[in-house]
Amino acid sequence: MIKKNTYTAIIKDLTEKGVTLVAVSKTKPQESIKELYDLGQRDFGENYVQELVDKQAQLPQEIHWHFIGHLQSNKVKYIASFVHLIHGVDSYKLLVEINKQAAKNNRVIHVLLQVHIAQEETKFGLDENELDQMFNANQNQLSALQNIMVEGFMGMASFTDNKEQVRKEFKYLKSIFEKYKHVQIANCKIQTLSMGMSGDYLIAIEEGSNMVRIGSLIFGERNYIS
Ligand SMILES: *Cc1c(COP(=O)(O)O)cnc(C)c1O
């Protein structure tokens, strides 16, 4: 069972603000996804490769599947034929593998670079130094990957009730987005800023997000957290 009224209110608000909603359906049954699909939702986010592969095979082909989890290089091949956008790319090595699998499938795969913005050490993501390396010093290595398109950045704020801390982290990610927005590299077209989840998406939008990833608000609480 999805929270239909909440979804309707959220999608109306986001549409007015020009923000894309990725409905995060991890651990949720296919019937719930279908229910939301029937209301017009097309962008869905998943964290686990096997779960995504299973759902993709059985649900409407019109769905845009976003991979938002931590992707291991050896699993890229399973989603390369259909994935719409990979949000959590945090190494050049992973970009190389995505490029390779995209080429095998004769397509271009769009990706977001994950930036480490939270206080927790455990969260994934590149730091500003690594981004500078990628876009400047190693620009030729990046531009050689002709089957990927870097379309922006993704970040996860600290898990805290301190709203000012969260806001500060989103502000920082927005500044990264602005810094690289105009890079002149053939396979980079920086336009997407994926930040904000159920608990902090309104702050994220105030700070410039144009893509939010919302799960529990729409689908209800998950039985296990990831
Ligand atoms: C699970 C998850 C979400 C959605 O979280 P909710 O709090 O349920 O909205 C968003 N982004 C990522 C990367 C996630 O893993």
**Ligand 1 within 6 A of CB of 75:** no
* Ligand 1 closest atom vs CA 197: 9
Q: Which pTM value belongs to this model?
A: 0.96
Confidence grade of residue 223 (pLDDT, cut at 50, 70, 90): confident
Domain boundaries, the chain: 4-219
The domain covering 4-219 belongs, at the CATH homologous superfamily level, to Alanine racemase (3.20.20.10)
Per-residue confidence band for 122, with pLDDT thresholds at 50, 70 and 90: confident
pLDDT at 225 over 60: no
Burial track 110-132 (b if 16+ CB lie within 10 A, e otherwise): bbbbbbbbbeeeebbbbeeebbe
Beta bridge partners of 20: 211
Residue nearest to atom 13 of ligand 1 (CA): 68
DSSP string computed for the chain: ---HHHHHHHHHHHHHHT-EEEEE-TT--HHHHHHHHHTT--EEEES-HHHHHHHHHHS-TT-EEEE-S---GGGHHHHTTT-SEEEEE--HHHHHHHHHHHHHTTS-EEEEEEB--SS-TTS--B-HHHHHIIIIITHHHHHT-TTEEEEEEEE---SSS-HHHHHHHHHHHHHHHHHHTT---TTEEEEEEEE--TTTHHHHHHTT-SEEEE-HHHH---SS--
What's the mean pLDDT in 78-94? Answer: 97
148-159: average pLDDT:
97
On the question of pLDDT at 115 being above 70, the answer is: yes
Q: CB of 123 within 8 A of CB of 166?
A: no
Distance from residue 24's CA to the centre of ligand 1 (Å) = 6
Pocket-testing residue among 20, 68, 202, ligand 1, by greatest number of atoms within 8 A of Cβ: 68
The 10s digit of each residue's pLDDT in 164-219 is 999 999 999 999 999 999 999 999 999 999 999 999 999 999 999 999 999 999 99
pLDDT band of residue 124 (cuts 50, 70, 90) is: confident
Averaged pLDDT, 71-90: 98
Q: Is the CB of 24 under 6 A from ligand 1?
A: yes
Whether the pLDDT of residue 159 is over 60: the answer is: yes
Segment 57-75 mean pLDDT: 98
Instruction: Give the per-residue pLDDT at 54.
Output: 98
At residue 200, the pLDDT reads 97
State the pLDDT at residue 224: 62
